[in-house]
């Protein structure tokens, strides 16, 4: 797994805490410390989403309707760096 991507357990903890802070904000408001925590957790969540999405796209192999591979050169380079391609 990519070191930049959270484990499923860590991701669940982050989203649970974000949701908890959201509901508290709606009910009674947040302290400045909680608002800062919410912002940091949100940044962490977005960074994780982007890293996971990038990994998915870079690992994708695209085949056209004739069976020819049409994966972009950029994706191929990323796959070679990761040892996923032999060409």
Confidence (pLDDT) at 44: 97
Range of the domain at 43: 8-81
Strand locations in 1-87, DSSP E?
A: none
CATH number for 12: 1.20.58
Please tell me the predicted confidence (pLDDT) of residue 13. 97
The C-alpha atoms of residue 18 and residue 45 are separated, in whole angstroms, by 9
Q: What is the DSSP string of the chain?
A: --TTSPPHHHHHHHHHHHHHHHHHHHHT---HHHHHHHHHHHHHHHHHHHHHHHHHHHH---B-TTS-B---HHHHHHHHHTT----
Give me the number of domains the chain comprises. 1
Residue 34 located in a structural domain: yes
In a domain, 86, yes or no: no
Please indicate, yes or no, if residue 3 is contained in any of the structural domains: no
Q: Is residue 1 part of a domain?
A: no
Whether residue 54 is contained in a domain is answered as yes
Q: 29 lies in a domain?
A: yes
The reported pLDDT for the residue numbered 2 is 66
Compute mean pLDDT per 10 residues along the chain, 87 residues long, and list them: 84 97 97 98 97 91 95 92 88
């Amino acid at each position: 797994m990519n070191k930049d991507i959270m484990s499923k357990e860590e991701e669940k903890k982050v989203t649970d805490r974000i949701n908890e802070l959201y509901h508290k904000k709606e009910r009674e408001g947040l302290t400045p410390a909680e608002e800062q925590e919410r912002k940091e957790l949100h940044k962490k969540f977005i960074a994780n989403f982007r890293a996971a999405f990038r990994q998915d796209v870079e690992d994708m192999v695209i085949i056209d309707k004739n069976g020819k591979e049409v994966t972009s050169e950029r994706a191929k380079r990323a796959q070679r760096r990761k040892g996923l391609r032999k060409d």
